[in-house]
Structures are given as C-alpha cells and as structure tokens.
Amino acid sequence: MSDCVFCRIVAGQIPSTRVYEDEEVLGFMDIGHVNPGHVLVAVKKHAENLYALEEPQAAAVARASVRIARAIREAFSPAGLSVYQANGKPAGQTVFHYHLHLVPRHEGDGMQLTWPVKNPPREKLEEYAARIVERLQAARPQG
Ligand code: 5GP
Ligand code: ZN
C-alpha cells in the first residue's frame, strides 16, 4: 500500500481525529498542534501539492476551509486564524500530500513567519506580473 502518511489516514489505515469529511476533502486534527483547534484540511485523492490539484479538489478545499474555520472560531474564539499551506521543501512542506493548516492564533503564541520585504520598484512588479499573465493567458481554457 501507499507509504504516504495522509493517504493512509484517508484510508483509515492509521488513526486520526477527524472533524470534517466530504467527497473530496478530509479535515483532521494536526498531531503537532500549534494551538488548540489546529486542523489540517487535506484532499482525499493524493495530490502532492497545489500545482497537482484538480480544480474540483481546489474548490472543495476552499469550501471546507471556510466551514471548518467558522466552526473553529465558534469553538475556541481565537483572536485570529492563520491559513498556512506549503509547497516544496524550501517552503516548509514536510508531508507531500496536499493540505492546508487552519491555525487559531493568539497574541504572543510564538508562531512566526519571517517576511523579508524587498519593496522593488514598480517597473519590477510590472515585469514580474507580465511573466505570470503571459502564462495565465496561454493556459486559459478554450471555448
Ligand atoms: P507541512 O509542514 O507539510 O505543512 O505540515 C505537515 C503537518 O502534518 C505537520 O504539522 C505535522 O504535525 C502533521 N502530521 C504529520 N504526520 C501526521 C500524522 O500522522 N497525523 C496527523 N494528524 N498529523 C500529522
Ligand atoms: Zn497521499
């Protein structure tokens, strides 16, 4: 069988504490648990990362995340909520099966993301944007 830990969780081959399930998505408690109420929202069908998601999976993850986030807010009344999602090792991904984190947040909870802003000039932003827009236009569905 699969050696992917989240595939094994989806299949019920290893235990998890589940909070949400639909056709495409499983929501379960993160075993590492940064703050009470920390939930992982994972696709059921294996996809390594964001790039590999099929659009119905992406839509289902977004819908489930909103529902679960509201339930977390009601259950734990956190001061804030972080949505964290890593693709690739340099981005911090450790389980290579698509998932996002819903992390309830509190002042001084110690969770940190260093964000080294560069503030490039507008021309640079225009140049970067053009590179992305070109690919988006090439990828636009026909018809
Ligand atoms: P990543 O860094 O890939 O975004 O996060 C992977 C997360 O999966 C970590 O926060 C880790 O605590 C969680 N995790 C890893 N193995 C298991 C497991 O077997 N069960 C559960 N519930 N969470 C896991
Ligand atoms: Zn998997």
Question: Is-catalytic flag, 99?
Answer: yes
Ligand 1 center–CA 31 separation, angstroms: 6
Please say if the pLDDT value at position 142 is more than 90: no
User: pTM for the full model?
Assistant: 0.96
The pLDDT tens digits for 111-130 are: 998 899 999 999 999 999 99
- Per-residue pLDDT tens over the stretch 62-97: 999 999 999 999 999 999 999 999 999 999 999 999
How far apart are alpha carbons 5 and 17 in whole angstroms?
A: 14
> For residues 4 and 2, what is the distance between their CA atoms, to the nearest angstrom?
5
Contact indicator for 35, 109 with CB cutoff of 8 Å: yes
Q: Is any ligand 1 atom within 6 A of the Cβ of residue 65? A: no
E-only strand ranges, 85-124: 99-105
What value does the mean pLDDT take over residues 16-43?
98
Q: What is the rounded CA–CA span in Å between residue 103 and residue 36?
A: 8
